[in-house]
Amino acid sequence: MQFTELGLRAEILRAIAEEGYTEPTPIQAKAIPAVLQGRDLMAAAQTGTGKTAGFTLPILQLLSTKPAAARGKPRVLVLTPTRELAAQVEESVRTYGHYLPLKTALVFGGVGIGPQIKALKGGVDILVATPGRLLDHVGQRTVDLSGIEILVLDEADRMLDMGFIHDIRKVLALVPKQKQTLLFSATFSDEIRGLANGLLRDPQLVEVAPRNATADLVSQRVYPVDKAKKRELLIKLIDDHHWHQVLVFTRTKHGANTLAEKLNKADISAAAIHGNKSQGARTRALADFKSMKLNVLVATDIAARGLDIDQLPHVVNFELPNVPEDYVHRIGRTGRAGASGHAVSLVCIDEHSLLRDIERLLKKPIEKVLLPGFEPDPSIRPEPIENGKRSGQRSGQRSGKQGGQRQGNAPKPSTPQRQGKPPQRGGPARGNAAQHHSGSRHR
């Protein structure tokens, strides 16, 4: 199938073609016609398959062919769990709506609210937001959601993981009951299906990969190692294999900071990215990593969904996540858009139960490799995992405003499948978190 067969208008097809794409990915081929028909949608696909363009393209088509009922009020609301993902979605809207006279605004926490208020006052068609900052605007009466025609919950499972269910319900009470609702997610938990049952009307279900599947092109390997030797092993792997771009996941913010410092002392350029970092620091670290000024980006799970890096070759789990589904999202940062990827996990005895949970979720064992000189000491006994609340509590499910509740960063759009080669565009979205764009601007 070609994009030209999906009924998209010429301005959108022109923008797609300028990005070098001709064929939609499987999720796009199934989702776009359903959205264009006005159907509510539950769409599940593993990360890196183009979910974002799967809803931005048909939304642009629908808005451009139907006049606004209430001029100036947002007509589309896209909710995302993190700043990273919000910026990625807004960039996708601007990229593919380049030749359309539609305005977008991007609002999230961690930056000043003033420019966002100014953008909203100018009137917008598409509003991309994180729940916490959106409710801040509602409280200040700087946004009116009564004109919403299409509501998108992107990475809905992650929003529930991060404790956003109450904020989501507050937002739902502010938008019209008669609207089109699109629920996109990498995985569909029972909680997500429960939310969908009360929110969607006769939805079309689109699934293009098995539940909680990992990309076939991602090779996975486990290195058993004592906790005290993990850092030394990571340095050896990076040096011996000449890894130039490695995304490393830790369990805690403090652990991310400490590991980045140790790597820099070993002459491996590294930076940490997590919820406590300022917006400017996160933007700089991500931009430097994408441009390969940094060899290693050390991240917590807050970054697992929002980082979209073309052809990222290596992901390392320095520590396994407490929730097995997060393993899927972490390693989904590599092997995107048809490219191959390599996922490595450094597993100490404390994490054996976490590894069993992950393998049970994947329904297959992960290859184990013992590296000479790093064999685990059989006399070491397992200890409780730091910050490992495993009694049914999901990772990131916190009280208060931790994690990504009002936070995020700025990568590139999730793009359609490029014909013949994976996407090549990179770099962070431009500047301010209150992006305000008219699609009719000149290059």
The residue extents of the domains of the chain are 3-211+405-438, 218-368
Taking alpha carbons only, the member of 214, 177, 207 closest to residue 192 is 207
pTM over cut 0.75: no
Q: Based on the number of CB atoms within 10 Å of its own CB, is 238 exposed (0-12), middle (13-18) or buried (19 or more)?
A: buried
Taking alpha carbons only, the member of 398, 333, 387, 324 closest to residue 160 is 398
pLDDT in tens, the chain (443 residues): 899 999 999 999 999 999 888 899 888 999 999 999 999 999 886 666 788 899 999 999 999 988 766 677 999 999 998 888 898 899 999 999 999 999 999 999 888 899 999 999 989 999 999 999 999 999 999 999 999 999 999 988 878 877 888 999 999 999 999 999 999 877 777 777 888 888 899 899 988 755 555 556 788 999 999 999 999 999 999 999 999 999 999 998 899 999 999 999 999 999 998 878 877 788 788 889 988 899 999 998 765 556 667 678 899 999 999 888 888 878 877 766 556 789 999 999 999 999 999 999 888 999 999 999 999 999 999 998 865 443 333 333 333 333 333 333 344 444 454 443 333 333 333 333 444 444 433 32
The predicted pLDDT at position 21 comes to 87
**3-211+405-438 and 218-368, same CATH topology:** yes
Rounded Cα–Cα distance for residues 55 and 28 (Å):
8
Query: Which phi-psi region, left, alpha or beta, contains residue 311 (left: φ > 0; alpha: ψ -120 to 50)?
Result: left
Q: 169: which 2 tokens? A: 């319900």
Q: 375: which 2 tokens? A: 């064999």
Q: Cα Rg for the chain, rounded, in angstroms? A: 21
Q: Based on the number of CB atoms within 10 Å of its own CB, is 280 exposed (0-12), middle (13-18) or buried (19 or more)?
A: exposed
Rounded Cα–Cα distance for residues 138 and 78 (Å):
15
Taking alpha carbons only, the member of 27, 189, 164, 139 closest to residue 86 is 164
The predicted pLDDT at position 210 comes to 53
* Maximum alpha-carbon separation in the chain: 71
Domain 218-368 belongs to what topology? Answer: Rossmann fold (3.40.50)
The predicted pLDDT at position 380 comes to 94
* Torsion angles phi and psi, residue 410, rounded to 5: -145, 75
Taking alpha carbons only, the member of 265, 312, 268 closest to residue 286 is 312
Cβ atoms < 10 Å from Cβ of 121 = 13
What is the three-class DSSP state of 272? strand
SS (H, E, C) 40-81: CEEEECCCCCCHHHHHHHHHHHHHHHCCCCCCCCCCEEEECC
The predicted pLDDT at position 215 comes to 56
Rounded Cα–Cα distance for residues 271 and 121 (Å):
37
CATH of 3-211+405-438, one of 3.40.50.300, 3.40.50.10140, 3.40.50.720, 3.40.47.10: 3.40.50.300
